[in-house]
Structure formats: structure tokens, C-alpha cells
Amino acid sequence: MNEDLSILLSAGLSKQGINGSIENLEPLTGGASKETWKFNLVNSSKSSRMIFRRGSGAESSLAIRTSDEAKIQEEVLKKGVPVPEIVLVSNSNNDLGNSYVMKFIEGETIARKILRDECYKSALPLLAHQCGEAIAKIHNTPLKNLQFLPKKSPIQLIEDLYLLYESYKQPSPVFEYAYRWLKEQNYGNFEDSLVHGDFRLGNILVNENGLTGIIDWELAHIGNPIQDLGWICGNSWRFGNSKKVVGGFGDIEDLIKGYNGISNEKINAELIKTWQVFGTFRWGVICLMQAYAHLNGSVNSIEKAAIGRRVSETEIDIVDLLLLGGD
Amino acid sequence: MIFDRPTNIELISAVIDFLDLEIKEELPPHLAFKLRIVTNVLKIVQREIDLGDTLSKDAQDLIKEVIESTQEPSLIEFASSIKEGNIDLDKESLRKALIGITKSKISVDNPNYSTFKKLVE
């Protein structure tokens, strides 16, 4: 199968006028619904490291088409967002399927390594500010070429999640409470923006100087921009470092300073907290969705079964945020 | 109870020890990672066997403080009465029930979770 993929990649690239042989093609671990491979493209003058990413056809209902992720990366790169440069985009009519090839960017994605390993110690104090800037640049991206993306108001997002939660018929008093609370909040008058949708450790690349790249655009959509800031502050993405509100590594003041330095919109901690509650509810519903993929028999997976018992982590976080003054 | 020892909890402990002490070392990293999930799941089952009845009973008592019900009220009834707007979100007994039930659930699912540890300290 690797050899077949090698041939297809080589053919696809040469159609774009990029010639060379495919070497060291290896699968990378990553999201369950996408394949990711790394390889070297070697020609007479040089060897370049590349990444190939392909949808399995069994993506979550929340995800966009894999080839559309590439189009977003091309657009945000123009605004100076650090993302891998796109080399080739293929759709489902082509031999390579719904996929794309991008240039390799150096950096670590694994949260626990970034938070614990000595070599990232120098990066951690810089990261919240850098993330704020990068998120603001994403939100500044013109939408003209991104009209294919789903557009959702805060209320639509809340209703969609609630419907998904309800479809599993597993009642959660905390989710019911959060749903009522979320519907009553003021989300401000923000211009529709490109939202990454899953900006957190795991989906960003980090080296000893901090942020080097942003990947995994499959939950991108157009909507209220503050969602991205609330998401990265959720306790689910602090990986046990709960005192560091931003992603387990930084302080909210630094995130806001980074964001406000670039963005036309000025934001504050209170708005972020509302979206943090939303994000926690969203992650809870995603956990439910994964568990029911196992329970309904579409996949048999111990990981997916186990994640069903992580719904209560999001419930205790919502209780802490809304009833016990947590942050 | 008509069953002999080892009890259900003791049997699961024996399985966890076997996996941790004899199997883990033999596995390549990606399976060792999955094995950690497996032993975590077994520990959830143990805690649920141990505490599940008491915690569910406590939850019912908390729910009874919030909603009027002729018999033993369930989590389903509790959730739907919040949904239907029958309960004022500021009601003190609602707050108490949500906190109590959620702490009980996480104490079985993951007592090491940061927010739970913070709240019990």
C-alpha cells in the first residue's frame, strides 16, 4: 500500500510540475478520522520534507472536507499566520482522494512533551502572547475566498450542540443547565470571522522559541471570533496544569494582550469566560459523540468507550465555572 | 451474596495487576498506551461497584430537594425539569444538587481530575 501511495503522490506532484522521487514515506499518528504521512521529495538538487493528509471518508459531522482545509491554509498564510505551505490539493475525483500535500514545519505537537520537557521551558512564557497574535491574524483573514465554509451564529452553534447531545438520549442535568445559561448570554457584536475551531496544544507546533505552526483546520467555520479564545482556555486543554488558564502554559492577560495588539476587535476576560463555558459544553458533546460511535457499533474501540466517562470531566468544569467561581 | 472470594473488586484488582506487572513490559509503545486506558477503565468499574449504589442514592435525595415527585425521582426527570424551565436557575437546592451529583460522578470516573481535586481540597 505504501508503494501504491508513493506512485500516486509522485504522479500527483509531477502534474503540478513538481518532480522528484518519494522517499521515507511513513504514517504519523494523528486524528482517527484522517491519515497523515510524512515523506521526503528528492530530486537532483535537494530533498524536501513534506506531509500528506487525507480524509478517510468517515469524518465527524462537525468536520469540513479535507481539501478545504488546504484552501484555508493558503488564505491564512497570506495574512502571516504560521501554517504549512500547501504544495498540492486533490479532491475525491482524483486518485489521491480528498487530500493535500504541504511542506513540513519543524515543531512538537504533543501537549505533555511541550509542557514538561526541558527544551520547551524557554517557549512556555512566550506562548500565550504568540497564540493571541496568531488567533487575531486568523480572525483578520478576508472571507471572500472562504465562502464554502459553514457560517454559524453563537445561538446556532449552541442549538446544534444541544440537538446532538439530545440525540444520544443520555440526560445530563449540567448540560441542560449550561444550555439554558448559554442561551441567555450576550455574545457581543463581532464581525463574522474565520474561526479555527480547535486551537489548542495538540494542534499547534512549538519549538524552543514558541509557536511555529498551526495545523488541523477540520473544525474551521465562520462565526463569532471569541470562540477560539474561550476554547484554548478550557480546563480540558490545560492537560493537568489547571492554574495556567491558557492551554496549561499561560495567563489570560498575555493572550488578550497578544490578541488586542493585532485585532481590530478589542476583547476582555469576561467574554472569553462565556465562550469557555461554551467550549467545555462543546467538548463534552464531542466526548458523547465519540462514545456513541462505539456504543452504536460503527467502531469498536476501547479509546472511544473510555471517553464516554470523560463527559463528567466537562460537567465538573461547567459546575466549577458557573456555580463555584472557577476560572 | 452467594459468591465466594475473591469479590468482584478483588478479581478486577488481580486483572489490573496482571496487566501492569506482566503484560505492559511486553508491549510496543502504542499498545502500552492503550493498556493504560484499559486499566483506567477497570478502575472506573471497581469504583462504581464500590460506591455506585450509595452515590446514586445520595443523588436521589438531592434531586428530591429540587423537584416534587411522587416516587423516587430519576436523573432523567431532573434533567427534563431543568430543560422545561420549571426550575429557577438561581434556586439554592438546584445548585446543591448539580454540585453534589457532578462531584459523585467524577469521583468514580476520574478522581484525579484537576477540577475535582481542587474542589475536594
Give CA separation, A282 vs A35, A287, B2, B4, B80, in Å.
24, 9, 45, 45, 20
Flag whether pLDDT at A31 surpasses 60: no
ipTM of the complex: 0.96
Q: Is the CB of residue A92 less than 8 Å from the CB of residue A98?
A: yes
- Say what the pLDDT of residue A157 is: 96
Query: Packing angle between helix A173-183 and helix A269-295, nearest 10 degrees?
Result: 140
Cα gap A291→A243, rounded to integer Å: 29
User: Binning pLDDT at 50, 70 and 90, where does residue A91 land?
Assistant: confident
- Answer with the residue of higher pLDDT: A29 or A310: A310
Question: How many interface pairs between A and B have CB atoms less than 8 angstroms apart?
Answer: 89
How many other C-beta atoms are found inside a 10 Å radius of the C-beta of residue A140?
18
Q: Which CATH class is domain A111-323?
A: alpha beta
- Answer with the residue of higher pLDDT: A91 or B44: B44
- Answer with the residue of higher pLDDT: A317 or A91: A317
Spans of all domains in chain A: 2-103, 111-323
Cα gap A110→A239, rounded to integer Å: 11
Q: Determine the distance in angstroms separating the CA of B115 from the nearest CA of chain A, rounded to an integer.
A: 7
Stretch among A76-80, A93-97, A140-144, A168-172 having the lowest mean pLDDT: A93-97
- Say what the pLDDT of residue B52 is: 97
Q: Is the CB of residue A113 less than 8 Å from the CB of residue A89?
A: no
Flag whether pLDDT at A241 surpasses 60: yes
Residue A304: CB partners within 8 Å, gap ≥ 6? A290, A291, A293, A294
Flag whether pLDDT at A185 surpasses 90: yes
- Over range A13-21, report the average pLDDT: 91
pLDDT of B63-79, one tens digit each? 999 998 778 889 999 99
User: In which element (H, E) is residue A206 found?
Assistant: strand A204-207
| Interchain pair B106, A235: CB under 8 A | no
Q: Which residues pair with B106 in a beta bridge?
A: none
User: Binning pLDDT at 50, 70 and 90, where does residue B34 land?
Assistant: very high
Q: Is the CB of residue A196 less than 8 Å from the CB of residue B101?
A: no
Stretch among A42-46, A230-234, A247-251, B19-23 having the lowest mean pLDDT: A42-46
Q: Are strands A210-214 and A151-152 parallel, antiparallel or unpaired?
A: unpaired
| Interchain pair A172, B79: CB under 8 A | yes
- Say what the pLDDT of residue A292 is: 95
| Nearest CB partner across the interface for B115, out of A181, A302, A320 | A320
Whether B27 has its CB under 8 Å from any CB of chain A: the answer is: no
User: Binning pLDDT at 50, 70 and 90, where does residue A32 land?
Assistant: low
- Topology, domain A2-103: Phosphorylase Kinase; domain 1 (3.30.200)
Q: Are strands A151-152 and A221-223 parallel, antiparallel or unpaired?
A: parallel
Q: Are strands A210-214 and A99-103 parallel, antiparallel or unpaired?
A: unpaired
Cα gap A2→A5, rounded to integer Å: 5
Flag whether pLDDT at A165 surpasses 90: yes
Chain B interface test: which of A319, A324, A327 (most B C-beta within 10 Å)? A319
Give CA separation, B80 vs A213, A217, A309, B86, in Å.
44, 36, 21, 9
Whether B41 has its CB under 8 Å from any CB of chain A: the answer is: yes
The phi-psi region of residue B25 (left if phi > 0; otherwise alpha if psi is between -120 and 50; otherwise beta) is alpha
Q: If DSSP codes are grouped into helix, strand and coil, which group holds residue B48?
A: helix
∠ at Cα A88 (A86, A92), nearest 5°? 125
A303 interaction partners in chain B (CB closer than 8 Å): 34, 37
Sign of the torsion formed by the C-alpha atoms of B92, B97, B100 and B106: negative
- Over range B47-70, report the average pLDDT: 93
- Say what the pLDDT of residue A222 is: 97
